[in-house]
Amino acid sequence: MTDERNFRSSYYEKVGCRGVEEKKSLEILMKEKPWDRVKLKQFCLRFTVPAAYRNLVWKVLLDILPVYPDSHEFVAEQRKDQYNQILYAVDLLELVESDAPKSEVMLAMWLLENEERKPPRFPETNYNLADTFLPITNTLIQLYDDDVDVYWFSKMLTETVRNMQKELPKLKEAFQSMLEKEDAELYNHIIEKKALEVLPLTKWFNCCFAGVLDDTSLTKIWDKICSGAPKILSFVAVTLVITLRRNILKAKTADEILKCVSEIPEKCEDVVANKAIELWQYYAQPQNDQLAKK
CATH code for the domain of 255: 1.10.472.80
Q: Looking at residue 288, what is its pLDDT?
A: 55
Q: Looking at residue 2, what is its pLDDT?
A: 35
Eight-class DSSP state of 127:
E
Q: Could you tell me the pTM of the whole model?
A: 0.89
**One-character DSSP codes across the chain:** ----S-HHHHHHHHTT-TTHHHHHHHHHHHTSSS--HHHHHHHHHHSPPPHHHHHHHHHHHTTSS-S-GGGHHHHHHHHHHHHHHHHHHHHHTT-S-TT--HHHHHHHHHHHHTT-SS--EETTTTEETHHHHHHHHHHHHHH-S-HHHHHHHHHHHHHHHHHTGGGHHHHHHHHHHHHHHH-HHHHHHHHHTT-TTTS-HHHHHHTTTBTTB-HHHHHHHHHHHHTT-TTHHHHHHHHHHHHTHHHHHH--SHHHHHHHHHS--HHHHHHHHHHHHHHHHHHHHHHHHHHHT-
Q: Mean pLDDT lowest for which of 74-83, 212-221, 262-271?
A: 262-271
Q: Looking at residue 290, what is its pLDDT?
A: 55
Judge whether 8 lies within some domain.
Answer: no
Quickly state the pLDDT bin for 21 (edges 50, 70, 90). Answer: confident
Handedness of CA 188, 193, 197, 202 (dihedral sign): negative
Quickly state the pLDDT bin for 19 (edges 50, 70, 90). Answer: low
Whether the pLDDT of residue 292 is over 60: the answer is no
- Average confidence (pLDDT) over 238-252: 95
Q: Looking at residue 281, what is its pLDDT?
A: 87
Q: Looking at residue 283, what is its pLDDT?
A: 85
Judge whether 7 lies within some domain.
Answer: no
Please give the residue range of the domain that contains residue 109: 18-292
Quickly state the pLDDT bin for 88 (edges 50, 70, 90). Answer: very high
Q: Looking at residue 267, what is its pLDDT?
A: 78
Whether the pLDDT of residue 45 is over 80: the answer is yes
Judge whether 11 lies within some domain.
Answer: no
Q: For the chain, how many structural domains are there in total?
A: 1
- Average confidence (pLDDT) over 117-146: 95
Distance between CA 208 and CA 233 in Å, rounded? 7
Give yes or no for a contact between 26 and 49, defined as CB atoms under 8 angstroms apart.
Answer: yes
159 Cβ contact partners less than 8 Å away, ≥ 6 residues apart: none
Percentage of residues in the chain having pLDDT higher than 70: 90
Quickly state the pLDDT bin for 223 (edges 50, 70, 90). Answer: very high
Q: Looking at residue 289, what is its pLDDT?
A: 52
- Average confidence (pLDDT) over 241-247: 95
- Average confidence (pLDDT) over 180-209: 96
Judge whether 274 lies within some domain.
Answer: yes
Judge whether 50 lies within some domain.
Answer: yes
- Average confidence (pLDDT) over 247-270: 90
Instruction: Report which of 130, 136, 99 is spatially closest to residue 117, judged by C-alpha positions.
Output: 130
Judge whether 261 lies within some domain.
Answer: yes
- Average confidence (pLDDT) over 90-118: 95
Judge whether 13 lies within some domain.
Answer: no
Q: Looking at residue 282, what is its pLDDT?
A: 86
Q: Mean pLDDT lowest for which of 47-51, 125-129, 268-272?
A: 268-272
Judge whether 6 lies within some domain.
Answer: no
Write out the E strands in 1-155: 121-122, 127-128
Whether the pLDDT of residue 193 is over 80: the answer is yes
